[in-house]
Amino acid sequence: MIKNSFSRGIGLGRSVQQNNNMTTIIFKEWKFIADKVTTQEAYANMSMGRPDSCGCNLCKNFVNNRDNTYPNEIKILLNDLGVDFRKESEICHFYKQDNGLHLYSGWFHFKGRFEGKNCTVPSGVNGITFDLTPVSEHFSIGFRYDNDLSFFEDKENLVQIEFNASIPWTIDLALEWV
């Protein structure tokens, strides 16, 4: 018997169902079973994400763009998983693209599991790359099992949410390549 459960359809191939401490989310081609409470607790214990604590110009630019970087459907998904989108585990800047936007990647974690495409693609002898799914013209996302630089004390049963985002330079232009 399911107690205190709810379900809501949000469109864009997304639905949420909650049963006890686990939340089941259908988003695009994935099904997530998340321990939302444990995930929220881990993020609540962190005062800020790593880009906020870094202080380099590349991270400052990302933080300045953060609210506009994530499409609304991704902000909703992260919230449903218990993830605070303002507390990335890490971000990396790759380069300034020909269109003038800067390509960043980053990741978050949530406690749980998923069904659907794992974004990890083996590359070379010991390397990997990612096959991310476009969500918008400037944002792609993927999921895999890993715990790189995780905020969680218990590193078991973590899903790593990988993303790429192309964003403008919005802080002082003199700092763009300093």
For 52-91, write each residue's pLDDT tens digit: 999 899 999 999 999 999 999 999 999 999 999 999 999 9
**In angstroms, rounded to a whole number, what is the distance separating the alpha carbons of residues 76 and 30?**
15
Measured CA to CA in angstroms, residue 104 lies from 66, 131, 142, 149, 161 at distances of 11, 15, 14, 17, 14
User: 4 with 131: CB under 8 angstroms?
Assistant: no
For 22-62, write each residue's pLDDT tens digit: 999 999 999 999 999 999 999 999 999 999 999 899 999 99
Decide if pLDDT at 1 tops 50: no
Three-class SS state of 54: helix
Provide φ and ψ at 14, rounded to 5°: -130, 135
> pTM score, two decimals?
0.87
Decide if pLDDT at 144 tops 90: yes
Where residue 19 falls among pLDDT bands split at 50, 70, 90? Answer: low
User: 164 with 103: CB under 8 angstroms?
Assistant: yes
